[in-house]
Amino acid sequence: MRERQIQAHVYVSGQVQGVSYRAMTSKAAQKLNLRGWVRNLPDGRVEAVFTGTETSVQAMLGWCRRGPLHSLVQDVQVLPQPIEAFAGFDVRSTPVAGNDETETP
């Protein structure tokens, strides 16, 4: 029986920029065979979308709560959402402040 696929939209706050959070998130997601993306936000948070098996997404959310060695995660907000089709896992550019793309919870 095939495991259920899910998608989570994640906002991570704390000391999560300038500590390789995006790069390490990408490596961890690829190891778990997840699809989606990660990027820094102008407000200092990191935003990511993870798509894959429920087990892999839950494992990734656990990783996000710990983060890489030099990070200090204060909060992880997880929003379930409908599954989108992603070919792989990407590190995206930081959006420009004031752009509609940056309006996040």
> Does the annotation count 22 as an active-site position?
yes
Count the helix, strand and coil residues of the chain and give each as a percent rounded to the nearest 5: 25, 35, 40
Catalytic choice (35, 39, 40, 45): 40
Rounded to whole angstroms, the Cα distance separating 70 from 1 reads 39
Helix (H, G, I), strand (E, B) or coil at 97: coil
Residue 103 burial (CB count, 10 A): 8
Give the separation between CA 7 and CA 53, rounded to whole angstroms: 9
Say which of 22, 35, 39, 45 is annotated catalytic.
22
Active site residue 99: no
Catalytic residues, by residue number, are 22, 40
